[in-house]
Amino acid sequence: MRVFSDPAQVEHAPTRELHNGGWMDYAEVPARLTSVLDACGPGEPARDFGIEPILAAHDPAYVAFLRDAYRQWRAAGREGDAMGYVFPIVARRKLELERIDAKIGAYSTDASTPIAAGTWDAAYGAAQSALTGMDAVLTGDRAAFALCRPPGHHAGADYMGGYCYLNNAAIAARAAQARGAGRVAILDVDYHHGNGTQDIFYEDGEVLFASIHADPKTDFPFYWGHADERGAGAGEGATLNLPLPQGTEWSGYAPALEKALATVRAHGPDLLVISYGADTFAGDPISQFRLHRDDYTAMAGMIAALGVPTLIVMEGGYAVDALGSNVAAFLAGWG
């Protein structure tokens, strides 16, 4: 399978995050990218499809903020990474804010997603990796893997969070729609719910969003991903959430995957996008499922059996030493 990435993706390197009431080293490290490349080979460089496909999924004002936030942070006399400390809890208003602290809060959902010197270039490169993989699939490849870092599925149209800045899966899906893929399915198999992806497509009946994830009653992102979230308007019924308890092993995961795949099959997609997170691994330091390496090959085999052209987009996975082997095991499931 062809693998696409961009060298700028290693330049995103925040130093710390606020987690469970204290500071910890930033978990989404550049070594995640190199671990996968070491296991899967150097792959191919992403092509640059420009800013327009990004703006098809994200609010222009938010994108402009991302591009300029670190410069504004430094111009304000701040050191270190840009990070918010005040967040609106009422309905978010479109305000003309001036201070960078206010802008970060308005465009953030947490204090675990700092903006560092290389963040914009890395996020832009990750989006281009997804677009390059999408192009490969639409022009004849059975499947392609976009090694995206930073990940994207927690980023909404106008907010960042959960280590995510641009929603790579959503950007690729919107670009595929623009190129004639009438119906798209996004299957999210990361440990955490892809709240940003769900938000972007919640009222779009042409894009199915199905997610298998840790129950948000106990796990991030808490406020999205509950089973009663089914879509709205034209998208009613095109969202499927399958939350599972902490400690879930393959024996409990596989039936949920079968249900999700049946829903994908019924949707009849022209393109399938997989938001693949290896943080379902038993050894992941910040997650609580109990999948093992061989389970990823079985998971991929079940998905591949759909016979739908598939773009795989990298999301989470924080057991860095095992990450490359876990990704390689998943890709091996395509045969």
Number of H helices, E strands in the chain: 10, 10
Catalytic residues: 154
DSSP assignment letter at 279: G
User: Can you tell me the distance from the alpha carbon of 84 to that of 136, in angstroms, rounded to the nearest whole number?
Assistant: 38
The amino acid sitting at 258 is: E
Q: Rounded to whole angstroms, how far apart are CA atoms 179 and 53? A: 11
CB-CB contact of 276 with 190 (8 Å) = yes
Residues 6+ apart with CB under 8 A from 139: none
Residues contacting residue 60 through CB under 8 Å, at least 6 positions apart: none
Tokens, residue 154:
């927690």
In 3-state terms, what secondary structure has residue 93? coil
Measure the CA–CA gap between 12 and 149, rounded to whole angstroms: 8
Q: Return the half-sphere exposure (C-beta side, CA atoms, 13 A cut-off) of residue 177.
A: 19
Cα separations in angstroms, 6 against 12, 228, 244, 276: 12, 38, 34, 18
Any idea what the Cα angle at residue 234 is, between residues 230 and 239, rounded to 5°? 25
